[in-house]
Chain A
Amino acid sequence: MILNYIKIAFRTLFKNKGYSFLNIFGLAIGITCASLIFLWVEDEVSFDSNFPKQDQVYYVPTHQEYDGEWRTFNSTPGPLAEAMKTEIPGIDKATPTKQADFLFTVGDHAINRSGRYVNADFIDIFSLNFIEGHKDQAFNTPEAIVITQETAEELFGKDTKVLGKTLRVNNKDNYQISGVIENLPKNITFPFNWIAPYERYTKGKEFTKEYGSFFADTFVALSPEAHFETVDAQVRNLLEQKTGESDSKAFLHAITDWHLRDKFENGKQVGGGILYVRLFTIIALIILLIACINFMNLSTARSEKRANEVGVRKAMGSGRSRLIFQFITEALILAFIATLVSILLLFLLLPQFNLIIAKDLVLGLSNPVHLLVLLGITLVCGVFAGLYPAFYLSSFKPVEVLKGLKVTQGSASFIRKGLVVGQFTISIVFIISTILVYQQIQHVKNRDLGYNKEQLISLNVNGNMIEKFDIIKQDLLKTGAITSVGLSNSELLSGGNNGSGLEWTGGTNTEDVLISFRYVNSDFLKTVGMELVEGRGFSENKEKDSSSVLITESFAKLMGTGSAIGKQVMRDDVYTVIGVVRDYQYGDMYGQSDPVLFHNYHEESSFMYLKTNPKIAPNEMLTLVEGVLKHHNPAFPFEYKFVDDTFNNKFKSEQLVGKLSQIFAILAILISCLGLFGLAAYTAEQRSKEIGVRKVLGASVSGIVRLLSKDFLKLVGLAIIIAIPIAWYSMHNWLQAYAYRIEINWWIFVIAGVVAILIALVTVSFQAIKAALANPVDSLKTE
């Protein structure tokens, strides 16, 4: 029996190549889309899942209160970890850590790798596996360093024993390799290539022992029997116990939440990447739904062709359930073929998709989970898409269809129209969303930042770049490729050193405003293109301005009315305001940045900014700059970033959403059009006799095209009406997450509507014109 069904399915398939193609191709696109999204989702949710202690490991961020609002920071005071471990029962392991970049030199081979200063508990918290050395002896000496296998191979080549070898770090310190650990998976939130003893970092740094400096990343592991709520409550009270102040609360952030639930608002967890994971999962399901709708539509549209078969089979004694079974089998076979096609598509598209999302996803068909999901999608699609046609087709009465009566299309055509409206509604929502996401990204990117990010490169300060700054600067300017050189302790675009508790003349309520501190040289403002609205910048003569500060406009506003020039700020020492800088944007590009205080002190700068001469080609400019730096700072490799690239990177997740919604909008429309195309073909075929009669009676070709297109356009029109409020509502909600956002313009809806109508028109009119041009004699003769 089943063989008989399969045979019939394949013969029907080949006999109606056009329909089969539309059906299979539509479904294959849907499955491909969904598979890509599910692969991405799998990667996202599997972050940090390779560490064995999934329900014991926690990161310790802090909520801090400023201006009545709780903000969340990824840093803790140095002594916190030890205090947690000794004073809170249930905390088994704890380590403060400090992230750092090391330049490793072996012979004349040098590589830059980031890693962490940690204490020995870190090894247990993340259950690191040692290939060389032993975890208990890894941190026996302060000179010890443990590196990953990858790093070891890059430094010493493959299959070399490296235990005990000496590593030169940053061209000044020596470390001894005390262990090699297995490579870490790519998808972890806190990646590292090496770990070294924490004491080596804290040596001679008094602030690391104080509760007032928040700088360390703290990781802890709870004992297996510990109760999370109890431990967390104690952690939240710990800082107050230590400092007597209640405006900072450390808390436990579970390893399973690190990647996708890392956003906090006013001390409450508000999600993070999980929102996009959910959003795209829903999109995947919607696209599958559209593809299934197509399938249903095309199958029921073709019902007349199958009606005869249904009648005969019923007359031969087939019950309804057997027919339902038969049609679902057919749908399943098509779904399986679609899956095979989509596997092929996945092989072709996955590399492109990886480029877009900057990941390394693999299809992994040998992975049983992947196979099961794919099989699941196939079965669900097949059964879901086949169910309605099966019930519809099997309901035909043999007497009617065998007599050659027209199958009454009432309910079926209503449902079919409903499905088309549904498809187009979804497509239009996608179109509108895509436009708005794009607009929002452009809007923020074109925001006046308060500085000029073009023609600007940043270098990490290392080696003797500070000691030799004056000569380096001179040589850079001499090349003609660079017009100005700035230094700063923090990155221009990021947050960084900040604090509160300043006092100033005439100041009130100074305690809880968060101020960012920047230590810059005199040319910094000029280099990055910040604008002085009042007063003057720092002079070249450092001594002269050692007790001068610059502030931003928002800071000036805090100091009260009247010119801020000449007012005094108390911060360890007394400083005089000599200039006011226009507010600029850093950190969260969508929000309002905190006020900034600039000091004229560049000795501890970490970043060097170079304004380039636009007349010199970038390649030449880079060669010239590299020459100067290699000359004065030969031990360190020349590494640079263009600030506008860094800026663009800040929009990665939004841009990802933008690109993906673009792709999915196009695919949703494509699938919907496949369906519409099939339906139009069917309608034209069904009405061929009517068209013939009309032509004989003198109807024009254009009149007939209009007649055939009109019905479909009505459906698309209805879809537009339904889609607009849905799109408006959901995009309005999305935009609320951004303080700096666009207004939703009415003309976007007009554009989306016009696009949808045009696409539908092109799809339908092809068939309509074909039908209208047909010779009426042919269509009338057939009866």
Chain B
Amino acid sequence: MKNKLLSLNIASKTVNLGSHKIALLDKIDLQVHEGEFISLMGPSGSGKSTLLNCIGMLDRFTDGGYTFLGEPVHSMKEKNRSRLYKEYIGFVFQAYHLIDELTVYENIETPLLYKNIKSSERKAMVADMLDRFNIVGKKDLFPMQLSGGQQQLVGIARALIGKPKLILADEPTGNLNSKQSDEIMELFAQLNEEGVTIIQATHSESNAAYGSRIINLLDGKIV
């Protein structure tokens, strides 16, 4: 068995809507090991995105325990959580969320800036990434000048540049056509083979099939 990457121990998230308490996530128990490729499935509103955000530490569980690489995230301060996800987690979004004012090159470089990596080293790392994704020729273009598939490619390159252990992808192909979609999923499969742990949320059965494990969510519960 591989190392345990993270574990959720009856983790819940509730929000107050007026006087009602609504459970977005209800007592989730989940172990993720390094090298897994997990697909989260379920209808809209079942809690897939919330679960991803909470695992990605952009959001917090309101109850239960969350351990990441042996560290107790649920009792951590903001600063330490930020350090942790900066180091180990990369995000890929459905709407790509590239910074419009930055070029492809600069978008990919951004996470490295926040990790205080030296300029020469950054150059080499970004060049490698551009090479690997075959987008060297596009490095000086702005996101608006790219197709959706290309933008997502840049999004993934940006997620990978920090050499994360875990990639969280929230419907990464939701805005793409089926051909672009397949290419992106192939890429994920390949990354997974290279050892990157991936958790993706998806509606599509065929995309989910790329994963090594499927988790179905309904009304915030694993079913």
CB neighbours (8 Å) of B93 from chain A are 402
B 9-43 contacts with A by CB, 8 A = none
Pairs across A and B, CB under 8 Å, 27 listed: A1-B113, A4-B109, A7-B106, A8-B99, A8-B102, A15-B100, A15-B101, A308-B97, A309-B99, A309-B100, A309-B101, A312-B98, A313-B99, A313-B110, A313-B114, A315-B91, A316-B110, A317-B85, A317-B111, A318-B114, A319-B114, A322-B114, A399-B58, A402-B95, A402-B97, A403-B49, A404-B95
CB neighbours (8 Å) of A322 from chain B are 114
Closest CB-CB distance, A425 to chain B, in whole Å? 36
CB neighbours (8 Å) of B79 from chain A are 319
Closest CB-CB distance, B17 to chain A, in whole Å? 14
A 279-334 contacts with B by CB, 8 A = 308-309, 311-319, 322
Closest CB-CB distance, A311 to chain B, in whole Å? 7
CB neighbours (8 Å) of A12 from chain B are 101
Closest 10 CB pairs of A and B: A317-B86, A317-B114, A11-B101, A316-B111, A312-B97, A399-B59, A399-B58, A318-B114, A8-B101, A399-B53
B82 lies within 8 A of chain A by Cβ:
yes
A398 lies within 8 A of chain B by Cβ:
yes
Tell me the bound Cα distance from A265 to B97 in angstroms: 71
B 83-118 contacts with A by CB, 8 A = 85-86, 91, 93, 95, 97-102, 106, 109-111, 113-115
CB neighbours (8 Å) of B110 from chain A are 4, 312-313, 316
CB neighbours (8 Å) of B115 from chain A are 317
Interface residues of chain A, those whose CB is within 8 Å of chain B, are: 1, 4, 7-8, 11-12, 15, 308-309, 311-319, 322, 397-399, 402-404
B113 touches A312 (CB 8 A): no
CB neighbours (8 Å) of A403 from chain B are 49
Closest CB-CB distance, B99 to chain A, in whole Å? 5
Closest CB-CB distance, A397 to chain B, in whole Å? 8
Q: Among B58, B102, B109, point to the contact of A315 (Cβ < 8 A).
A: B58
B 134-158 contacts with A by CB, 8 A = 158
B98 touches A316 (CB 8 A): no
Closest CB-CB distance, A527 to chain B, in whole Å? 77
What count of chain B residues pass the 8 Å CB interface test? Answer: 27
CB neighbours (8 Å) of B162 from chain A are 317
Tell me the bound Cα distance from A319 to B86 in angstroms: 10
B50 (CB) vs chain A CBs: closest residue: A399
Closest CB-CB distance, A101 to chain B, in whole Å? 69
CB neighbours (8 Å) of A397 from chain B are 58
Tell me the bound Cα distance from A313 to B58 in angstroms: 12
Tell me the bound Cα distance from A70 to B18 in angstroms: 74
Q: Among B53, B58, B59, B106, point to the contact of A4 (Cβ < 8 A).
A: B106
Tell me the bound Cα distance from A318 to B49 in angstroms: 21
Extra 19 A-B pairs, beta carbons < 8 Å, given A7-B106, A11-B101, A319-B82: A4-B102, A4-B106, A4-B113, A7-B101, A8-B99, A12-B101, A309-B99, A309-B100, A311-B97, A314-B58, A315-B91, A315-B97, A316-B86, A316-B111, A316-B114, A319-B114, A322-B114, A402-B95, A404-B95
A8 (CB) vs chain B CBs: closest residue: B101
B110 (CB) vs chain A CBs: closest residue: A316
Closest CB-CB distance, A333 to chain B, in whole Å? 13
Closest CB-CB distance, B164 to chain A, in whole Å? 10
Residue of B53, B82, B97, B115 contacting most chain A CB atoms (<10 Å) = B97
Tell me the bound Cα distance from A398 to B110 in angstroms: 16
Tell me the bound Cα distance from A319 to B116 in angstroms: 12
Tell me the bound Cα distance from A309 to B96 in angstroms: 12
Tell me the bound Cα distance from A316 to B97 in angstroms: 11
CB neighbours (8 Å) of A314 from chain B are 58
B98 (CB) vs chain A CBs: closest residue: A312
Closest CB-CB distance, B68 to chain A, in whole Å? 15
Closest CB-CB distance, B49 to chain A, in whole Å? 7
CB neighbours (8 Å) of A308 from chain B are 97
A404 (CB) vs chain B CBs: closest residue: B95
Closest CB-CB distance, A16 to chain B, in whole Å? 10
Closest CB-CB distance, A309 to chain B, in whole Å? 5
Closest CB-CB distance, B136 to chain A, in whole Å? 20
B162 (CB) vs chain A CBs: closest residue: A317
CB neighbours (8 Å) of A8 from chain B are 99, 101-102
Tell me the bound Cα distance from A586 to B99 in angstroms: 73
Tell me the bound Cα distance from A11 to B114 in angstroms: 20
Tell me the bound Cα distance from A316 to B59 in angstroms: 14
CB neighbours (8 Å) of A316 from chain B are 86, 91, 110-111, 114, 158
A1 (CB) vs chain B CBs: closest residue: B113
B 32-89 contacts with A by CB, 8 A = 49, 53, 56, 58-59, 79, 82, 85-86
Closest CB-CB distance, B104 to chain A, in whole Å? 14
A398 (CB) vs chain B CBs: closest residue: B58
CB neighbours (8 Å) of B109 from chain A are 4
Closest CB-CB distance, B26 to chain A, in whole Å? 19
A10 (CB) vs chain B CBs: closest residue: B101
Tell me the bound Cα distance from A8 to B107 in angstroms: 11
Closest CB-CB distance, A8 to chain B, in whole Å? 5
Closest CB-CB distance, A275 to chain B, in whole Å? 49
Closest CB-CB distance, B177 to chain A, in whole Å? 21
Tell me the bound Cα distance from A312 to B109 in angstroms: 13
CB neighbours (8 Å) of B98 from chain A are 312
B158 (CB) vs chain A CBs: closest residue: A316
B83 (CB) vs chain A CBs: closest residue: A317
B161 (CB) vs chain A CBs: closest residue: A316
Tell me the bound Cα distance from A109 to B56 in angstroms: 93
B102 (CB) vs chain A CBs: closest residue: A8
CB neighbours (8 Å) of B82 from chain A are 317, 319
B168 (CB) vs chain A CBs: closest residue: A315
Tell me the bound Cα distance from A341 to B111 in angstroms: 35
CB neighbours (8 Å) of A404 from chain B are 95
Tell me the bound Cα distance from A563 to B97 in angstroms: 98
A9 (CB) vs chain B CBs: closest residue: B101
Closest CB-CB distance, A23 to chain B, in whole Å? 16
B86 (CB) vs chain A CBs: closest residue: A317
Residue of A314, A318, A402 contacting most chain B CB atoms (<10 Å) = A402
Tell me the bound Cα distance from A446 to B15 in angstroms: 73
CB neighbours (8 Å) of B97 from chain A are 308, 311-312, 315, 402
Tell me the bound Cα distance from A206 to B74 in angstroms: 101
CB neighbours (8 Å) of B99 from chain A are 8, 309, 312-313
Tell me the bound Cα distance from A316 to B90 in angstroms: 8
CB neighbours (8 Å) of B114 from chain A are 313, 316-319, 322
Closest CB-CB distance, B63 to chain A, in whole Å? 18
CB neighbours (8 Å) of A7 from chain B are 101-102, 106
Tell me the bound Cα distance from A707 to B101 in angstroms: 34
Tell me the bound Cα distance from A7 to B110 in angstroms: 13
A11 (CB) vs chain B CBs: closest residue: B101
Tell me the bound Cα distance from A311 to B53 in angstroms: 12
CB neighbours (8 Å) of A317 from chain B are 82, 85-86, 111, 114-115, 162
B85 (CB) vs chain A CBs: closest residue: A317
CB neighbours (8 Å) of B59 from chain A are 399
A12 (CB) vs chain B CBs: closest residue: B101
A15 (CB) vs chain B CBs: closest residue: B101
